[in-house]
């Protein structure tokens, strides 16, 4: 059971990045997927969530209109397209899988598989 994030990088303000999270060892298509982030000195927060069929994406207010979550169940991969990046988006970004997740912000206890994180730095 594994989630592996990639795509993090150093980018200038206003730039874009696309994060990917590849799943293995479990039935990806049956799981709700979320992206979380943790900035230095701050608690981890939910950024975006998408349900099993790719429907009902939901976003944190701070990223609404700039970030887009999507998934490809055939590739067992979830993505986070990040546009118009700001210095305050700097954080370690994690993807996570949950059997079900209805609440927003998403409680971390609902997510039982986590990736190791990928660093995004906007400077």
**Which residues, 6 or more positions from 82, have their beta carbon under 8 angstroms from its beta carbon?**
16, 17, 18, 19, 63, 66, 67, 89, 120
Integer Cα distance of 16 and 71 in angstroms? 18
Q: Under a CB-based contact definition with an 8 Å cutoff, are residues 70 and 94 in contact?
A: no
CB 111 within 8 A of CB 66: no
pLDDT in tens, the chain (123 residues): 999 999 999 999 999 999 999 999 999 999 999 999 999 999 999 999 999 988 889 999 999 999 999 999 999 999 999 999 999 999 999 999 998 888 888 889 999 999 999 999 999
């Amino acid at each position: 059971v594994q989630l592996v994030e990639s795509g993090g990088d150093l980018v200038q303000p206003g730039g874009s990045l696309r994060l990917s999270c590849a799943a293995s060892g479990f039935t990806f298509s049956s799981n709700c997927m979320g992206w979380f982030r943790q900035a230095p000195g701050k608690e981890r927060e939910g950024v975006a969530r998408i349900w099993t069929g790719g429907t009902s994406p939901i976003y944190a207010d701070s990223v609404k209109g700039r970030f887009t979550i999507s998934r490809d169940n055939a590739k067992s991969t979830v993505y986070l397209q990040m546009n118009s990046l700001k210095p305050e988006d700097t954080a370690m970004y994690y993807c996570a899988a949950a059997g079900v997740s209805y609440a927003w912000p998403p409680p971390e206890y609902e997510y039982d598989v986590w990736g190791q994180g990928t660093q995004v730095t906007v400077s």
